[in-house]
Amino acid sequence: MDIIETVSNGMRGYNKFSIGKSECGNDILCVHRGGYGGKQLIIIGGIHARECYTALVVLEQIAAFGTGGADGAYFIPLVNPDGALFFEKGDAQCSEFLARHVDEHRAWKANALGVDLNNNFDANWGTGAQNRRSPYSHGYIGEYPASAKEVRALVDFTLNVRPNATISYHMMGGELYWEFFQTGERKRRDKAFATALADYIDVRRVDGDLGSAGGYKDWCVQYLHIPAVTIELIKQGSHPFEAADLALEIPLNAGLPRYALSVLKESEQGK
């Protein structure tokens, strides 16, 4: 499968646009569905190279979302297109760094410069238990927060949208992560949101901060003070996964964006 082509083709017929460019100049594509006058979500996939087929879940959600109502969602299926192309084909593109690591491409998580994008956000940056200080297939935090072009594009876009919640797709584990040092009412609100989503797609809600840092979910919780979850698809198996391994996950998650918006509205009405 050519996941970059699949993503582009899967967005045909919708008003797709680019939120920015990757390190090698590939577009980071986005589609908005629904209205603009109500609650808004941002949903992302493919931030890790070897997890690029999570984009297929997001593409199905675009098709399933529909156009009715004031609530809407922004769908970004593939945040790391350079890494996805490297994972699939061993294509180093613009990157001398990737060219030196072609033998590792099927285990790759990072971008074209060896930055793990989900460790590069400004949320307790550099304090993660498995962080690295130099370019690598995974775990490298980058030179400074949002040093990676892909992260900078997603940060700028998120700040412009100011969503009410975000959902990030990864794999594997069949788990949902939501916590990042929230307290009080925010913690109660975010836990309720996480519980509802975990139950809807039949994954395990994981409590605790677990030594993570620098992720998109972490940044959304800490900086924007909104509910944000990381969903780890596929309950069993090992990397590298293929597109077919998501066959059960795609229909199960298709309706999650609409459901998440309904949970947000019910929470607000229950105050």
pLDDT digits (tens, 9 = 90+) for 188-215: 999 999 999 999 999 999 999 788 899 9
The tokens of 20 are what? 């920015």
DSSP element (H, E) containing 57: helix 55-65
pTM of the model: 0.97
Spatial contact of 216 and 180, defined as CB atoms under 8 Å apart? no
The predicted structure's pLDDT at residue 68: 86
Burial of 271 (0-12, 13-18, 19+ CB in 10 A): exposed
- Kindly state which CATH superfamily the domain 3-81+161-269 is placed in: Zn peptidases (3.40.630.10)
Q: What pLDDT is stored for residue 267 in this prediction?
A: 81
pLDDT value for 185: 97
Alpha carbon distance 82, 93 (integer Å): 8
Choose among 50, 7, 48: nearest CA to 30: 7
What pLDDT is stored for residue 92 in this prediction? 97
Question: Strand, coil or helix: what is 166?
Answer: strand
The residue type at 53: Y
**Nearest residue to 227 (alpha-carbon basis) of 182, 169, 171, 161:** 182
Using alpha carbons, select from 137, 105, 131, 130 the residue that is nearest to residue 240.
Answer: 105
Domain extents in the chain: 3-81+161-269
Cis ω for the linkage preceding 240 (within 30 of 0): yes
Residues of the chain with pLDDT under 50: none
Nearest to 245 by CA among 229, 257, 230, 233: 233
For position 271, what pLDDT does the model report? 59
- State whether residue 157 is helix, strand or coil: helix
Q: What is the pLDDT of residue 270?
A: 65
pLDDT number for residue 209: 78
Per-residue pLDDT tens for 73-101?
A: 999 999 999 999 999 999 999 999 999 99
